[in-house]
Amino acid sequence: GAVVSQHPSWVICKSGTSVKIECRSLDFQATTMFWYRQFPKQSLMLMATSNEGSKATYEQGVEKDKFLINHASLTLSTLTVTSAHPEDSSFYICSATSGEGYNEQFFGPGTRLTVL
Amino acid sequence: KNQVEQSPQSLIILEGKNCTLQCNYTVSPFSNLRWYKQDTGRGPVSLTIMTFSENTKSNGRYTATLDADTKQSSLHITASQLSDSASYICVVSGAGFQKLVFGTGTRLLVSP
């Protein structure tokens, strides 16, 4: 149990276009989902926290108008990178928690975004 | 400031050998500590999770220890295999808040 999926697993886009990444909790209801970004040889950096039905909370330095997060249901959150630029190229990982027990976060497999 | 530091940054060992990875944290108040394995280009996968009252927890060839007094944890890998080559991340959860504090990870390479 506790499986989180992401789609797509990788995407290449042109500079200036927008890209949507989906994160789904497959076998549990995720009260909270998190979006992380990871650059090569670095650890995960939290971008934003989203609760179902409410606005996401962004970390300092993360542009909310550039990284649009929608958590429309208890099993789906989306991250849209708007007007992507090469510096947005990174590995984006989502995680989800049901809020029970250890409040453990279950991570998705990640999405590799390359902006040309 | 809540921080998690890991050592060594990278490690190369021969297949079949054991190794120990270290994690020191300053997160307070403390809730739990997790060790994750992250293969290149993949999301982190949980290995162990320990609360304040737990000193050790095993998951197959992985054994984690926790000393909440000194705020230190270790991950011991026994009889390493080539598939153990990955980054190992120590993550601490503070009591009362959702955000996790990530260590920078230890990159392990198991050589044949």
Hey, is the C-beta of B32 within 8 angstroms of any chain A C-beta?
A: yes
Q: How many CB pairs under 8 A join A and B?
A: 47
Name residues whose C-beta falls within 8 Å of residue B91's C-beta, 6 or more positions apart in sequence. Answer: B4, B33, B34, B35, B36, B44, B100, B101, B102, B103
Other Cβ atoms closer than 10 A to A2: 15
Summarised one tens digit per residue, pLDDT across range B80-106 is 999 999 999 999 988 876 678 999 999
Summarised one tens digit per residue, pLDDT across range B27-55 is 888 889 999 999 998 999 999 999 988 99
Q: Report the C-alpha gap between A116 and A41 in whole angstroms.
A: 21
Summarised one tens digit per residue, pLDDT across range A51-83 is 887 889 999 999 999 999 998 888 999 999 999
Residue A89: the pLDDT is 96
Tell if the CB–CB gap between B49 and A104 is shorter than 8 Å: yes
B32 within 8 A of B51, measured Cβ to Cβ: yes
**Distance (Å) of CA B6 to CA A57, A95, A113, B26, B97:** 28, 22, 28, 12, 22
Residue with the bigger pLDDT between A72 and B76: it is B76
- For B:45-74, CB contacts with A below 8 A are 45-46, 49, 51
Confidence check: pLDDT of B11 > 70: yes
Q: Which amino acid is at B83?
A: S
Mean pLDDT value across chain A:
91
